[in-house]
Amino acid sequence: MKLHHAPGSRSTRIVWLLEELGLPYDIQFHKLGDRAMRSAEYLKVHPMGRVPALEDNGVVIHESGAIVEYILTRYGAGRMLPDVKSPLYAQYLQWLHYSEGMMMPQVNVIMVETVFLPPERRNEVNVDRATKLLTRSLDAVELQLENGEEFLAGEFTGADIMTGHACIAAKRLNADMSEKPNVAAYVDRLTSRTAYKKALQANPD
């Protein structure tokens, strides 16, 4: 498998997943905003010129959630994925998709306004609103973990790769976790995992 990855992006999820599963992979590093990601060659891999994208024996797939499902279904051997007949399966699906539907849109706004736009084009109102919505989106995660659960759908699963990564991003972007002790502890559990630490260390030489 060949993973197209830019450190600090959603593609970190896929490096993390591959490390959790102990699967062999190669990385093609990219830099966010690099014009090379708009080249005709790379647009054949990802038509939006973004990461992640995975190439696997003739299969080309992008979107982090789709890649997580693909890898777990094809190579997970039952790991990190509840059985479809399990009561946890619907819960798993919900949290697998929650981050992209509810959390990452706000992360995108904050990143654009504080990192990618030049200072004269930034809008603090947009940042404040997105930060409040991002903080609010953590309420559902806090509730899910209120009975002492360590992870979102039983054991550690792909749902924790997806929504857990979004929670980590929320903390980094100053979402208010002062009244969300379950989320704060959850983030600490995730960031202490060896595979997550290895994912952060995946950088070009």
Residue-level pLDDT at 203: 86
Give the whole-angstrom CA distance, residue 80 versus residue 91. 13
User: pLDDT digits over 77-105, tens only?
Assistant: 999 999 999 999 999 999 999 999 999 99
> Which residue positions in the chain have pLDDT lower than 70?
205
Per-position b or e across 86-111, b if 16+ CB within 10 A of its CB: eebeebbbbbbebbbebbbebbebbb
**Cβ contact 66:128 at 8 Å:** no
> How many CB atoms neighbour CB 73 within 10 A?
10
Residue-level pLDDT at 144: 98
User: pLDDT digits over 139-148, tens only?
Assistant: 999 999 999 9
Residue-level pLDDT at 76: 97
pTM of the model: 0.96
Residue-level pLDDT at 105: 97
Domains of the chain, with CATH numbers?
2-80+195-200 (3.40.30.10), 88-193 (1.20.1050.10)
* Total residue count of the chain as it appears in this document: 205
* Closest C-alpha to 11, from 57, 59, 88, 66: 66
